[in-house]
Amino acid sequence: FSTAPEIQVELPGITTVAEFRNAFDSWALGHWPRYTSGLLRSSAIATESDLLQAWSPLPADGRIAILPPVSGG
């Protein structure tokens, strides 16, 4: 995995969060040998100000955050 806080990936034609999850999952499987899909499926997708739902459109600038689940103690 990259340790950079930001990566840029070209996923043409992707317009919703659900489409992003599928496309990014396929991209990551081909680029990161140790990648597993489970973490992406349980992570939230957000913009700078909103959590997005599966049917939500991606922002026009394409900038999103993947927020992995956390557990407290």
Residues contacting residue 11 through CB under 8 Å, at least 6 positions apart: 20, 23, 24, 27
Q: What is the pTM of this model?
A: 0.82
Q: What is the pLDDT of residue 7?
A: 84
Q: pLDDT tens digits for 2-40? A: 555 788 899 999 999 999 999 999 999 999 889 888 888
Residues contacting residue 27 through CB under 8 Å, at least 6 positions apart: 9, 11
